[in-house]
Amino acid sequence: MWRLAGDTATDYNHYSKRAILGAIYGSTMAVFLNDESEDFADTRAFLARRIDRVMRFESWKYRRAARSIERPSLARFVGRLRYPGR
């Protein structure tokens, strides 16, 4: 689904996006199989809530990254120990 949507991620986002999508898809299918509401209204509401939660988390991540300052990084520190001239 992500490829069809035009996703070209090759870093860790490649895997995290697919894990999130798989969790939403699997849980929505479980609700769908037991849904007896008219026009699958319960399934649609369930899916909307799951997507809303993911979007709220992504919004929080964006706000956190936007206001963050340069924080200490263990990887950067170790890199400087190994390559002090950089």
Mean pLDDT for all residues in the chain: 87
Residue 21 lies in a domain: yes
Residue 7 lies in a domain: no
Residue 17 lies in a domain: yes
Residue 2 lies in a domain: no
Number of domains making up the chain: 1
Domain membership of residue 65 as a residue range = 12-82
Residue 5 lies in a domain: no
Among 5, 53, 9, CA closest to 27: 53
Per-residue pLDDT tens digits for 63-74 = 887 776 777 778
In single-letter form, the type of residue at position 60 comes to W
State the pLDDT at residue 48. 97
> 48, 54 in Cβ contact below 8 A?
no
Residue 6 lies in a domain: no
> 54, 20 in Cβ contact below 8 A?
yes
C-alpha span between 24 and 50 (Å, rounded):
7
Per-residue pLDDT tens digits for 10-58 = 888 888 889 999 999 999 999 999 999 999 999 999 999 999 999 999 8
C-alpha span between 14 and 81 (Å, rounded):
31
C-alpha span between 21 and 66 (Å, rounded):
25
Among 56, 6, 51, CA closest to 24: 51
pTM of this structure: 0.69
